[in-house]
Structure 1
């Protein structure tokens, strides 16, 4: 295992050349190769259990809530009354756990391609994977793009919890314009999508391209972010694309006692970007 040496896991990725993030490993819990990717789970010394896909950290016990809560609640609180929600990816179950906090949601469908990810999360990250236990959840095993092609005018909110767009990886097609057209077609009037949109410190070119073609499809396209120490540069972003109103101000609130990270103030603040980011991804500051 190239990423595990002398008791330390080190994350090397083609999307963040010249840097790495390392965690001291106490025990390798699982290692396997699915038809789609390499799956690793280990117990770290300071971050609890860790899920890794193709050498890239997806979740840790210590900080996963900063990602899961912001991903789910930025999207759901930006819709006035979400009833049907689709999650593409997210096989660890964390997004499902957060969606389940919204009692107005009647149906939650998750489309995940890799059964090994689900099984590994259920065994080693049970506090996240308990999202699968909600009775409103329906699991569809398969490719997210193919699933979306069959869906028209069906969902209020779609959340795309994908891995990074590595060449040849399972998420590569999820960062292309045709996929976003399918996302829009699957939305009900006033619906919105929220997708994983990379790191503002090292992926401005990817973010700018996502925003460029999404603006041709949606009424409002906005970038927000959260802090999370186990992700590259300690930050990860979300692209919110709406066929209705802006997502910068929540339309609904959620009981803050249910969360560790998300609240109404941080919803608003997450869209406030450094000047260099705003100039790079929006090109025209006056339009945002």
Structure 2
């Protein structure tokens, strides 16, 4: 995973699995974005480290973003701005749905996606399915903002592979959420981004007027062709209506992408979205409102053209990956 290193020796000579104790010099966490690109986050301390059979987990206290959850060297969320990612992941699909009552979350072990779902007054049942018990236990213990979500009697927590869990369940859902790790080589998560999975496993588990939404990786001008455009195009081969949208997430140092898909059109305008937020959601959203949601679906010219021209379809035999390498980690 990424390294916590001191300010003087930022590249060499440090154990990547342990922060060097050096109180006189500033410590840094390094995230390797590519062979020739790293992001550095100044640290106050490393609060906790753990290793499960699937992945390496760390909770860092960063100077700029507060507590940050890092899995397999990839920033998953930070205390300061995780609301941007999780509000964008959850609320658009639930607001566009006419009456969402049941939700299935693939992944989401930190509990933040479930927290946002449970803000909706129409919700009766949320199934959160994550493969890694240790990640769930870790997050339930250390991420205090999600205590209420984990304690909710509406939440059904399942430890299993999301694909296997969906295949064996007979019930259907109004919304299915992909809060998954990015597709990386060496792990089976990419299988949950494939056309066959969407078509044969996921779509049959949606109710009438059901909506699927997934995080879709980096979506910046320089990064959107890694997986974002391909996920969008793959879903277009399975659903009648597919809507991509983006937001800048500061701790990710990039624009991030999500994709919604349904066999029913997404027809709400900004005013109607605001009305549904007022009617359905307990508490205030920090990031999303009607105008920002609608505007997030407008891509810049470069990304827009790529989405129109993309031909790649995710399959088990022909997958795209972002930089990095997994340890058989999945939802």
TM over 0.5: yes
- Using the alignment, how far apart are the partners of 1:203 and 1:17 within structure 2? 18
Structure-2 separation of matches of 1:2 and 1:192: 35
1:275 corresponds to which residue? 301
Per the normalisation by structure 2, the TM-score is 0.80
Distance in 2 of aligned mates of 1:87 and 1:42: 25
Note if contact 1:224-1:270 (Cα within 8 Å) is conserved in structure 2.
yes
Against the structure 1 CA distance between its residues 129 and 231, is the aligned structure 2 distance closer, same or farther, given a 3 Å change threshold? farther
1:10-63 per-residue CA deviation (whole Å, 9 max, x = no partner) reads 1114xx453222211111111111111111111111211110000001011100
SS of structure 1 residue aligned to 2:175? strand
Q: CA deviation at 1:247?
A: 6.3
Instruction: Look up the match of 2:102.
Output: 84
Are residues 2 and 144 of structure 1, via their aligned partners in 2, closer, same or farther at CA, if it must alter by over 3 Å? closer
Say if 2:282 is the partner of 1:259: no
SS at match of 1:204: coil
Equivalent pair of 1:76/1:82 in contact (CA under 8 Å):
yes
Cross-structure match for 1:107: 125
Deviates more, 1:117-126 or 1:253-262: 253-262
Q: Say if 2:79 is the partner of 1:56.
A: no
| 1:23 and 2:41 aligned | yes
Cα-to-partner distance string for 1:208-250 (whole Å, 9 max, x where unaligned): 22222211211101111122101142x2110101121126747
- Aligned residue for 1:4? 4
**Pair 1:245-2:245 in alignment:** no
- Decide whether the 8 Å contact of 1:50 with 1:59 is kept in 2: yes
The aligned counterpart of 2:252 is: 231
Larger radius of gyration: 2
How much does 1:2 deviate? 5.4
Distance change (3 Å), C-alpha of 1:264 and 1:97 = same
Q: CA deviation at 1:282?
A: 2.1
Q: Say if 1:167 and 1:52 are closer, same or farther in 2 by CA, change over 3 A.
A: same
Partner SS state of residue 148, structure 1: helix
Q: RMSD value over aligned CA atoms? A: 1.9
Number of aligned residue pairs: give it: 281
Aligned to 1:154: 172
Moved more, 212-221 or 250-259: 250-259
Shift of 1:87: 0.5
